[in-house]
Amino acid sequence: MSSPNRVAAAALATAAAGLLVGGIALAIFWAPEDADQGFSQKIFYIHVPVALTAYAFFGFGAWKALRLLSTRDSRYDLESYTAVHMGVIFGLLTLVTGSIWAKTSWGQWWSWGERQLVLFLVVFLFYSAYFMLRYSTDPGPRRERNSAVFALFGVALIPVSFLAVRIAGTILHPTVFTHDDGVAMPWEMFLAFCICLGGVLALAATFYRVELAGKRIDASLKELREQLA
């Protein structure tokens, strides 16, 4: 990494650490406890920001994919790939934290009635297939474009699956558990949540920069090796 990049990454990492520590401290010690879930509801301050970050990454990856298709500049390929890579990691974290939350509040590790989590599983499976597509296609413009088209399909799949899980939830599965976060939240909770969201986003941006730099170094190393061979 060049030095201005290094400064930016360090600043982002510091911001992420500060916001996350502050946000979690506020969430635990200051924000009021949830009336019926008690302390276990605190995982909300991590679970929801991580889920939103994963969606942000998928959206960002699709945007870079669109740029690749319109400009044919292969620089966007690595950027889109890194975004999807990070999105899958945050997606896995969302599934794990959601599962822990489900266990503490309903006594089950997995509930098909929890629509947001089911939607996430579909999206997670889809983006895991993105890696299979990438790994089994030879590097080159073909792979760049196929991956980009697949990443674009993802952002269409998210709203379509959202709708599907929603209408299925009304008939196929009993809707015993419903969360209505956001609107009815007291402002202390909402403030702590926003700080946590900012912290997770800053952390995600740091990861993205570091991972992108690593992938670029890998790619140029590979090129050098091929020239030597």
Partner 1 sequence: MSAYATDVATLARKDVLLELRSRDTLPAMLLFVVSALVVFHFALPADASDRAEIGLFWIALVFTALLGLTRAFAAEREQGLLDGLVLAPVDRSAIWAAKAISVVVFLALAEAVALPAYALFFQPVGWELVAAVVLADVGIASIGALLAAMAAASRSRELLLPLLFLPLAIPAVIGGVGASVAENPASFLGFLALYDAVFAILAWASFEYVVTE
Binding positions for partner 1, rule: CB under 8 A: 69, 122-123, 125-126, 129, 132-133, 136-138, 141-142, 145-146, 148-150, 152-153, 156-157, 160-161, 163-165, 167-168, 171-172
* Cβ proximity to partner 1, 100 vs 133, nearer residue: 133
Q: Least separation, in Å, of the C-beta of 125 and partner 1?
A: 4
Residues 6+ apart with CB under 8 A from 38: none
Q: Least separation, in Å, of the C-beta of 170 and partner 1?
A: 8
Which residue, chain included where needed, has tokens 């909770």?
189
Q: Least separation, in Å, of the C-beta of 99 and partner 1?
A: 19
Longest dimension (CA), the chain: 66
* Cβ proximity to partner 1, 40 vs 146, nearer residue: 146
* Cβ proximity to partner 1, 111 vs 161, nearer residue: 161
Q: Output the DSSP codes for 123-158.
A: HHHHHHHHHHHHHTS-SSHHHHHHHHHHHHHHHHHH
* Cβ proximity to partner 1, 145 vs 216, nearer residue: 145
Q: Least separation, in Å, of the C-beta of 9 and partner 1?
A: 33
Which residue, chain included where needed, has tokens 């889809």?
126
* Cβ proximity to partner 1, 75 vs 142, nearer residue: 142
* Cβ proximity to partner 1, 14 vs 128, nearer residue: 128
Q: Least separation, in Å, of the C-beta of 135 and partner 1?
A: 9
The candidate with the shortest Cα–Cα distance to 143, out of 68, 62, 213, 227, is 68
Helix (H, G, I), strand (E, B) or coil at 38: strand
The candidate with the shortest Cα–Cα distance to 201, out of 9, 43, 12, 22, is 12
Backbone angles phi, psi at 9, to 5 degrees: -65, -40
Give the Cα separation of 76 and 216 in Å (integer). Answer: 11
Q: Least separation, in Å, of the C-beta of 146 and partner 1?
A: 5
